[in-house]
Amino acid sequence: MLENGLGHLKSDPKPEKQSMRRKSPPKKKKKKNTSAKGEEEKKKMSPEDALPNSGSTINRGSTTVEECERMIHKSMKRPMVKFLMESIEKAGCGIGRSFFKAVECDRVFSGGYCPGEGILVCSNHMRLQDDVNQVIIHELIHAYDDCRAANLDWSDCAHHACSEIRAGHLSGDCHYKRELLRKFIKLRGHEQECVRRRVMKSVLSNPYCSESAAKDAMASVWDVCYNDTSPFDRAP
Ligand SMILES: [Zn+2]
């Protein structure tokens, strides 16, 4: 989902979130509100508001929104998820009760992060608890990056690539067991290759990044961002 999502470039920051917002975006097309609930719903997160960034395309199962919400609650009890949430709060960004949201998505992405707002998990692309854990950890790393770097600009391909490199590397998205499940079985050097593949996929879904821009961006920030394991001491 969300590869055409421009919501992360919204130019109407709420005052209390200003520290997490960035410079004004270029003009974007008018976002249409597809919700039947109308005005009231407009302020809430929607798939159109999320970053085109998950890079996860687990598309082999489905749960209901309710079941997915339950799985999200389970995820929130996991040490790594708790640690990331605490790190985000320590960095000065609150995580409210509605930070995580299960939604049905019409695209193949498994989840997304809405800058300054929260994380969406696509229930219709989740099957196992592990799928949900994985999405949440990946997106929390984006949320952490968004919080700690006041000038992070998601429309900048290098900024986006950096956060994807970190999220891919630190979340274990490319753990060899997951890669085996995906049938990418070349083990030697697989982790970096896998991270690169997923970073490209995510950055390419950013409407501001062409293929060559995405490639250049990833190459230019790779070393710094791959080795930046914050808030962890080293890659988990
Ligand atoms: Zn991502």
Residue 19 confidence (pLDDT) above 50: no
Tell me, what DSSP letter sits at residue 35?
A: -
What is the structure's pLDDT at 164? 98
Q: What tokens appear for 194 in the block?
A: 């896998």
CA of residue 199 to ligand 1 center, whole Å: 7
Residue among 3, 139, 179, 191 flagged as catalytic: 139
CA of residue 27 to ligand 1 center, whole Å: 24
Label residue 93 by pLDDT band (50, 70, 90): very high
Label residue 11 by pLDDT band (50, 70, 90): very low
CA of residue 202 to ligand 1 center, whole Å: 6
Examine residue 185 and state whether it is found in any structural domain, yes or no.
Answer: yes
CA of residue 37 to ligand 1 center, whole Å: 29
What is the structure's pLDDT at 92? 94
What is the structure's pLDDT at 55? 45
Cα separation values, 83 from 75, 109, 142, 175, 232, Å: 12, 25, 14, 20, 9
Residue 210 confidence (pLDDT) above 50: yes
CA of residue 31 to ligand 1 center, whole Å: 22
Examine residue 173 and state whether it is found in any structural domain, yes or no.
Answer: yes
Residue 150 confidence (pLDDT) above 60: yes
What's the rounded mean pLDDT across residues 74-97? 95
CA of residue 217 to ligand 1 center, whole Å: 15
Residue 31 burial by Cβ neighbours in a 10 Å radius (0-12, 13-18, 19+): middle
Residue 76 confidence (pLDDT) above 70: yes
Residue 32 confidence (pLDDT) above 60: no
Label residue 191 by pLDDT band (50, 70, 90): confident
Residue 119 domain boundaries: 44-226
What letter represents residue 100's amino acid?
F
Q: In what order do the strands lie in the sheet with 118-122?
A: 100-103, 118-122, 111-114
Q: Note if the pTM is more than 0.85.
A: no
Lowest mean pLDDT among 173-177, 193-197, 220-224: 173-177
Percent of the chain with pLDDT over 70: 69
Identify residues whose C-beta is under 5 A from ligand 1, the ion.
53-55, 164, 167, 202
Tell me, what DSSP letter sits at residue 122?
A: E
CA of residue 223 to ligand 1 center, whole Å: 18
What lies within 8 Å, CB to CB, of 32 at 6+ separation is: none
Cis peptide before 231 (omega within 30 of 0): yes
CA of residue 167 to ligand 1 center, whole Å: 6
What's the rounded mean pLDDT across residues 12-17? 34
What lies within 8 Å, CB to CB, of 223 at 6+ separation is: none
Beta carbons of 125 and 102 less than 8 angstroms apart: no
Is 179 catalytic? The answer is no
Q: How far apart are CA 220 and CA 224, in angstroms?
A: 9
CA of residue 89 to ligand 1 center, whole Å: 20
Q: How far apart are CA 234 and CA 112, in angstroms?
A: 24
Tell me, what DSSP letter sits at residue 18?
A: G
Domains identified in the chain, total number: 1
